[in-house]
Amino acid sequence: MPEIYYQLMTITDYQEIESQITKLKSQRPTLVARLKAARALGDLSENTEYSTAKRDLRHIDSRLRFLNKQLKYAKVIEPTDSKIVEIGTKVVLADLSDQEEMIYQVVGRQEADVNQGKISYESPLGSAIMHQSVGKIVTVNAPDFTYQVKIIKIELV
């Protein structure tokens, strides 16, 4: 029996995907009506309204399939311990090369956004600090270089 690969994510990400699905489902009836109205105009070969409505409906249906598949294989991780780094925890790190502090929340792959302070547990930094504790110095193997960070603080979010 093949092994099922789960999408690890925070409850926030799960709820965001549910919200997107709800929004797209609410838009779908309008697009279906637009497609029917465009079809009623006659010649479909040169009917721009029909082509556009069909494309838009296909796009929403494709996005709904994608989002539903993400939820189907989702495994929501809720951090339980502020003593070790887990998905969902907020971590304060010090880069040992310049002592600059960084604050990140460790999240699932699809939720990661460095500009918002969210790193994937699968990223070089995320995988290096996963399951580590406060005070631990870890080596991060980035694609172009290696550096060390010290875990200063771990918080439940």
Both 68 and 109 in a single domain?
A: no
Q: Are 120 and 130 in contact (CB under 8 A)?
A: no
| Tokens representing residue 35 in the block | 């497609």
Q: Which CATH number fits the domain that encloses residue 22?
A: 1.10.287.180
Domain contains 62 = yes
At 104-136, the pLDDT tens digits run 999 998 899 999 999 999 999 999 999 999 999
Last residue of a domain, one of 76, 105, 124: 76
Is 39 inside any structural domain?
A: yes
* 131 and 108 in a common domain: yes
Q: Final residue of a domain: which of 76, 100, 123?
A: 76
Distance CA 50, CA 43 (A): 9
Global pTM? 0.78
Whole-number pLDDT of residue 3: 62
Structural domain boundaries enclosing 65: 7-76
Burial of 77 (0-12, 13-18, 19+ CB in 10 A): buried
Tell whether 39 and 95 lie within a shared domain.
no
Which of 26, 50, 76 is the endpoint of a domain? 76
Domain-located, residue 1: no
pLDDT tens, position by position, 69-93 = 999 999 998 888 778 999 999 999 9
With respect to residue 41, please indicate whether it lies within any of the assigned structural domains.
yes
In a domain, 81, yes or no: no
Q: Are the CB atoms for 67 and 17 separated by under 8 Å? A: yes
